[in-house]
Structure 1
């Protein structure tokens, strides 16, 4: 499957639970095209479900696996995937190290996924397949007690948890500070963990993000509104060779994950 087909399908799915993204396009774009810097996907490091399984679909579409990242406090590992065409968005895929969670949480995840056929992950369409298992709100809350990431993935399944505006390509903004000011003036709440702007020109990347939209979701025992997906904003700076830095900053990404936290 071609990379543009994948991104289009992920974007369509993303908008269904993140309506703010379309409004933010209008706010920042003023009729101009918004360029996407990267997307992010989540999974678990269970057999047949790991980050490399999802990443293979992007390798098949011409990407190469790039740097690895570790987030010890959140028990996460990640890689990003880079396409040789710099105009193609990057892909950041993380996985939760289930083996580092408590026995109770491991057992709960095993129960949820006991009838999930991992063979479906061999098809690119799994990337936007959503949740393929039943979960109760009680179990969702139990997962929240240990891992926001586990709870989010158990509730939402496979989808892009964020898209990212390429601030370098915005025609009417000269800085990430200006973007944030426009967002706040329009009433959007930003993720302020680690500062409103994560990173700096010194590390060649600045990032900010909205807090996730709230979307209604059906659990097996009730319907509830919970955090869905968010929008990120990234400004990149040139490295010593004069080319824009294409990687990520672990300390900043660690804070960005919290944009989907329950509140």
Structure 2
């Protein structure tokens, strides 16, 4: 698809200036030129809209995922070499609905600051096989071109007593990365839908800090308990609230999956198809990462575990509305979540 990103990758553009404040001008240029950016997000000056902060957050999270997921970086490089850009559909993260110390439990850990960025919950998606619930957060100003967030939460009270105890041990002393300065910036965005450039930088850095591990490395014993009951809970134990995956919107996910499989990518065996038939998804299996675990004597041991991954989605037009079908599907999500268990 043609790119308008180059229009936004100059020093005087708001998005470029925001991302430069986070990780420097070169990385900002790289992050913006790889994504398809809505021209409505262009602009200069010292007033920043909530939509611009939302897109800057997504661009930064996308860049971070490429740093952590080599197979995703390989795919994105091939897109760039072909002279195309990525249509970034949505990112996903996992949360704990249980004891989380100073961090708000479940989706509220993110909904609390996504709302000032113009996001609202569009729909709930029960995931009973996973003992989870998913929520689709859509950006109200530019719902088709600013990526959604699919925020899932693990219901700890549905685990065994041993599983609940392991969750309390791992997540019960989580910290909250947001402080007074960040909330002042979010409040400014909430009040007027825009804020000063300095407030936008503070809000962006604060939001990014939430996409990490807010607890200490888990003990190996607790991790093994979680792994036996909930692969998703075990994943959160090592990865925290990091971007679980980022998703490219593509015209034909079935054909793309076949091409990638032929190119040697470790693809999910099947394509998930929504009940209405309009949303189709598949993914590359999660890359392995090495994470520290605490042993009984207090020593830390590094072990390989599943990390994040990269997903692909095709969305058709909803004939009733004439607009792109931006919904998700509980069955699709359940199937996609297996990517981190099968890695």
TM-score of the two chains, using structure 1 as the length reference: 0.89
2:312 to 227, 233, 255: 233
Q: Check 1:118–1:101 CA distance in 2 against 1; reply closer, same or farther (3 A cut).
A: farther
2:174 to 116, 126, 132: 116
The offset of 1:208, in angstroms, is 0.7
Aligned residues: 254
Q: What SS does the aligned partner of 2:130 have?
A: coil
Aligned to 2:96: 44
Is structure 2 residue 58 aligned with structure 1 residue 7? yes
More helix by share: 2
1:19 to 70, 74, 78: 70
Q: Check 1:131–1:222 CA distance in 2 against 1; reply closer, same or farther (3 A cut).
A: farther
The offset of 1:87, in angstroms, is 0.9
Aligned to 1:247: 327
1:145 to 228, 243, 252: 228
The offset of 1:114, in angstroms, is 3.5
Within 5 A, what are the aligned runs for 1:146-185? 146-168=229-251, 175-185=252-262
1:59-80 CA distance string (max 9 Å, x none): 1111121100101111001111
CA separation in 2, counterparts of 1:167 and 1:107? 42
TM-score of the two chains, using structure 2 as the length reference: 0.69
CA separation in 1, counterparts of 2:210 and 2:66? 15
CA separation in 2, counterparts of 1:224 and 1:131? 19
CA separation in 2, counterparts of 1:210 and 1:64? 29
The offset of 1:245, in angstroms, is 0.3
Aligned to 2:279: 205
- Structure 2 alignment gaps of length 5 or more: 1-49, 184-205, 295-299
Q: What SS does the aligned partner of 1:68 have?
A: strand
Larger radius of gyration: 2
1:75-109 CA distance string (max 9 Å, x none): 00111111130210111000000011011111111
- Structure 1 alignment gaps of length 5 or more: 169-174
